[in-house]
Amino acid sequence: PAPGQTETGLPEAGKSEEAAMKGNGWALLLAVVLAARGVGLLPRGREMEELTLVSALAADRAGAAVAVTAVTGVRASQDEEPQVLTGKGQSLAEACRGLGKKGSAVPYLGQADRLLVGEDLARTGLWETLDFVLTDRELRLDTLLYIVRGSAGAALSDAAAQAAKEGGTEDPRGRTVGETLSRLAEGEYAPVPVLEPDGDGALEPAGWAAVGPEGLVRFWTGEAAQGAELLAGLGKGTVVPLPDGSAAALTGVRTWAKDGEVRCTLTAQSVRGEAQEAALEVWGERQIRAVLSDRLDCWGLDRERGALRPWAWGHIENAPVEELAVKVTGRIEGSYERRS
């Protein structure tokens, strides 16, 4: 190395400064972790054996009170069985504190990756429920949010084995508490996936819900639910039956808003007969129009349009979504039968 430089080519003084900065960074990180432990934000290592890790949490309206149901995670290597814990209180916080009163282990909510909200609570107390997640020291804002038809607690209890084994991150429809809360805080609407019990001990997708600052506004099923998925860029794998008896499986969905249009590109493969692109386009337009006809912008279409035309924001903001033109482009890229 040149005089005054190290083997890495850095000046000796610079290397010292770099090392000092790294040392200070680690010291700061350690201080934050220790402080978090000191105020109880993180469980202490010696307490972990005393904790019961919750994988999913459900909340329901119970008269004037709130009821919660929790399912614990399991470790297949130890042949564990999931536990179902319940609590009730005048608030969600009080109900969650009641989860640990019947056993020796203390439930830890920091591992819960799904929050299921029952239909009644979603109509009247959704904001308070999400705000509790925001302020609770264990629950996380990246927890996935679902609305359940009927009672969320009963549905979760019946599906305990499924809920304990499956992770919420496996669901492409997942919407987090944080992203939903941020839209509601701006006075906007947000889409939330809906679940319902299938009668055989499992929870299955049951469309979408539109929620706002006032709570649950509307359920979308059928064509409107499919339209909601397309607007969110979802639907890959959906098999689309077409009027001529053919069918196509979606392999890609891309949707965006520009000027006065909602544009959507659907790519697919024929899975029965010879699917036609024109028929796929008609199908896609019908689904999207079905959900836009409810006059709710849950996807930030106005913001997307305004990003390219900021000078016209005054005319774009809160413009009626049902008046937007819908343009769908279909592309059939071969046949599944031929490739297999």
Angle between helices 177-185 and 126-135 (to 10 degrees): 120
Sequence-distant (6+) residues with CB within 8 A of 310 are: none
pLDDT tens sequence for the chain (340 residues): 444 444 444 444 444 444 444 345 544 544 444 444 344 455 554 355 567 889 999 999 999 999 999 998 765 555 677 889 999 999 999 999 888 765 557 888 988 999 999 999 999 999 999 999 999 989 999 999 999 999 999 999 998 888 877 665 678 898 999 999 999 999 999 999 999 998 888 899 999 999 999 999 999 999 999 999 999 999 999 999 999 999 999 999 999 999 899 999 999 999 999 999 999 999 999 999 999 999 999 999 999 998 888 898 888 888 899 999 999 999 999 887 655 4
pLDDT the model gives residue 7: 43
Which pTM does this prediction carry?
0.81
For residues 124 and 128, give the distance between their C-alpha atoms in angstroms, rounded to a whole number: 9
104-156 tens-digit pLDDT: 578 889 889 999 999 999 999 999 999 999 999 899 999 999 999 999 999 99
pLDDT at residue 32, rounded to an integer: 47
Note the helical H segments in the chain. Answer: 12-38, 92-97, 119-124, 126-135, 152-158, 160-165, 177-185, 222-231, 277-292, 301-308, 313-316, 336-339
pLDDT at 38: 41
